[in-house]
């Protein structure tokens, strides 16, 4: 099993932020409302575009800071994938069970 180090933590968080950006940017593109910490449950497209962009930029910055030297990804690629998968699973289950951002 791989050792957990600061690069792995940054890569995991990068995966979380990058995946989180997708829902917000898609919401902005289609002109819907979606929960953000900036304006609550009724956050409109502009707020979602800003929040999604901030998540994407933060995720990409963390990915860059977590990347090991050399032309190929190292173990941080697994941590990135785990963060992305964990957040996507959480979003799916929270919407199915709680319908925070959907209507029936």
What total of structural domains would you count in the chain?
1
Which region, left, alpha or beta, applies to residue 96 given φ > 0 means left and ψ of -120 to 50 means alpha? alpha
Domain that holds residue 72: 6-98
pLDDT in tens, 54-95: 999 999 999 999 998 999 988 899 999 999 999 999 999 999
Query: Quick check: is 91 in a domain?
Result: yes
Of 40, 83, 85, 46, which Cα lies nearest the Cα of 62? 83
Query: Quick check: is 1 in a domain?
Result: no
Query: Quick check: is 33 in a domain?
Result: yes
Cβ proximity of 18 and 59 under 8 Å: yes
> Residue 38 in 3-state DSSP?
coil
Query: Quick check: is 84 in a domain?
Result: yes
Q: What percent of the chain has pLDDT over 70?
A: 96
How wide is the angle at C-alpha 36 spanned by C-alphas 34 and 38, nearest 5°?
Answer: 135
If you search the block for the tokens 């199915």, which residue do you land on?
A: 96
What's the pLDDT at 1? Answer: 59
Query: Quick check: is 104 in a domain?
Result: no
Question: What pTM value is reported for the model?
Answer: 0.91
């Amino acid at each position: 099993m791989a050792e957990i180090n600061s690069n792995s933590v940054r890569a995991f968080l990068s995966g979380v932020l990058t995946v989180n950006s997708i829902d917000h940017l898609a919401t902005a593109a289609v002109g819907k409302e979606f929960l953000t910490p900036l304006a609550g449950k009724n956050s409109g497209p502009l707020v979602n575009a800003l929040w999604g962009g901030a998540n994407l930029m933060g995720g990409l910055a963390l990915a860059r800071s977590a990347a090991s030297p050399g032309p190929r990804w190292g173990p941080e690629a697994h941590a990135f994938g785990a963060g992305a998968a964990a957040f996507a699973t959480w979003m799916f289950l929270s919407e199915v069970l709680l319908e925070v951002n959907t209507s029936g």
